[in-house]
Chain A
Amino acid sequence: MIDNNDKILLEVVDLNTRFFTEEGVVPAVTDASFTINKGEIFGLVGESGSGKTVTAHSIMGLVHPPGRVVSGKIMFEGTDLLTLNQKQMEDIRGRRIGMVFQEPMTALNPVLRVGEQISEVIEIHKAASEGTVKERALELLRQVGFDEPLKRYTQYPHQLSGGQRQRVLMAMAIACNPALIIADEPTTALDVATESQVLGLIEGLIERLHLSMLFITHDLMIVRSMGQSLGLMYAGRMVETNRVKEFFKKPLHPYGQGLLESIYGFSGSGRLKAIPGSVPNLLDMPSGCKFHPRCPYVMDICRGEEPIIKEVGKDQWVRCYLY
């Protein structure tokens, strides 16, 4: 891994994030490790409660009490983000790491014009000299696909459609030429047609501006259409990281296989191949491999100690005793 160091933008090593609640300690993320290369879109996939959003928040320093990152390393451009204080982190957030959230209406200020909000980001991080802030904001609006940036500049968020708001957020995210953008379900609230547009826009921007992206989604189809690598989370664990092409040929982890089959596969009787059982409660988890109660290949060893994640091929890691 040392020889391709300059390819790697973000390296997360054994990240553990816990929430200390009255009902007990919730292990939201356990021993998660993955890397994002420069210029790539890394899709982080999992069901609700699998820990994908908490992983993103851990990277951005946005885990608030009762939650806390308890151990691990998050190496970004040569710095371990977990060693930074709040002020240093604020500087990185927005300037080097941009963010796009799921619900654009709540991420934008409803009483400020779109242009003012973009300008604010530019001013805070001094991404343009004083006289050129507005010019830069207009340019950003053009970059995210608005034909009439001047009109958009003076509009309020409620005057825009969901897809347009999401594009304004993209403009804010790229305002300071970040190296990484973290997008948390950016298209989940949108229609299929609008979703296509926003995804197309994101892909174009990543390529044109040589950005990297951590793309969080529950929708495997999106990752298939636009990611290069992916990480699959289950019950707070990273159970597989793989190249997108390889994953869709044959996922390594039985959970990944089950997910793909439950979307695509008819079983013989005209039924879908469902994964039996349900996602475990994080406060009451099974022993050993957290997927073993639902796994068709379960062995005795799976009920004992939890497997560690192993490298089984180039950029292919899996947390399973089958390998």
Chain B
Amino acid sequence: MGPLLSVLDVRRYYEVRRSVFSVEKEIIRAVDGVSFELEAGHTLGVVGESGSGKSTLARCLMFLERPDSGKVIFDGVDLLNSSPAEIRKVRRKLQIIFQDPYSSLNPRMTVRDIIAEPIKFHHIVKGQKALNDKVVDVLNSVGLNGDFLKKYPHEMSGGQRQRVAIGRALATEPALIIADEPVSSLDVSIQAQIINLFIDIREKLNIAMIFVSHDLNIVRFISDTILVLYKGKVVEMGERDQVFLNPRHPYTKMLIDAAKGEFSLKSEPAETPEPGQCPYYDTCKDRKPVCRSQSPELTGDNGHKVACLKGAP
């Protein structure tokens, strides 16, 4: 059996006007040729700063956004070239969790209804009794008890709301969960609880995850594989320990240093990157003349790939 998810050369560009009155248009390459594979039960951490394209990538995988080109094959189904009926069949196996549970949960629904809705929609169980049991099961699996059934989102803390959002995603018994910054809006002391919950779920239910975050510390604990995005391109990808202990791209190194509290002062970056050069050229500490004229390809073996002329083996 092949991988659970194959992403092949996915691109998503946006055309924007330079200003309100301008006719001049600029193309933003939000996701620019991203490819990776994810095995069942594995966790991929996608790291990047705001503007790196990580959320657009997540949205492309979730059909919230249609890529301009490329292929997304999930569980054997080519998501971009299939009929709605075929997509509906795999849809329940693919779930998403957003950053802010306060805006992703319907404020007028109780926790019971929030979790029951996808179970009913996808006909996961038959009969009222089975439905009620399933809802309670799901609640327990995210560390909440039956007292929460009748609560509304505003009656809960941020951490509890995110647990409900995770429960709603688990309710359809998915094979893959995509979590976009799932702990960023939570207090530091609560973040660790939710990350532990993700680790529990992965162990118990063998669900694959794509964990999108700007925070390396968070991704580090939970991921098997790390993918580092910069300006829509994958600049480094590899096994967790390879990337963390032996980072090859200067951008990854900078992120790791920052996560350790080692900030470095740099000069003002140039504003517009020139075409045909390494996307990281302007801010790179280790740049060479060749980096100005050549955009590096992602090279290396499956355990560790890097798109840097200097870091490539």
Chain A positions within 8 Å of B, measured between CB atoms, are: 47-48, 145-147, 161, 164, 191-193, 195-197, 199-201, 203-204, 218, 220-222, 224-226, 258-259, 262-263, 266, 270-276, 278-279, 294
Contact = CB atoms under 8 A, between A and B. Distances in A.
Contact of B266 (A197, A262, A276): A197
A142 B192 CA distance: 42
A47 B187 contact: yes
B11 interface: no
Nearest to A224: B261
Given A191-B49, A192-B49, A262 B189 contact: yes
Given A196-B254, A278-B190, A225 B265 contact: no
Contacts of A218: 187-188
B266 A221 contact: no
Contacts of A147: 268
Given A258-B189, A278-B157, A197 B265 contact: yes
Nearest to A167: B268
Contacts of A199: 263, 265
A81 to B, nearest CB: 30
A195 B254 CA distance: 12
Contacts, number: 100
12 contacts: A47-B188, A147-B268, A191-B51, A193-B266, A196-B254, A218-B188, A220-B188, A259-B188, A271-B196, A271-B199, A274-B193, A278-B190
Contact of B188 (A200, A203, A263, A273): A263
B50 interface: yes
Interface residues of B, number: 35
List the 6 closest pairs (A to B, CB-CB), nearest first.
A200-B265, A274-B192, A262-B192, A221-B261, A272-B192, A191-B49
A4 B91 CA distance: 68
B98 to A, nearest CB: 19
A274 B189 contact: yes
B188 A270 contact: no
A273 B221 CA distance: 11
B255 interface: yes
Contact of B199 (A196, A262, A270): A270
Given A225-B262, A278-B190, 18 more contacts: A47-B187, A147-B268, A164-B268, A192-B49, A193-B49, A193-B283, A195-B263, A197-B268, A199-B265, A200-B266, A218-B187, A221-B260, A262-B192, A266-B221, A274-B190, A276-B193, A278-B159, A278-B160
Given A192-B49, A196-B258, A47 B266 contact: no
B259 interface: yes
Contact of A225 (B160, B261, B267): B261
B217 A263 contact: yes
A41 B175 CA distance: 49
A170 B184 CA distance: 27
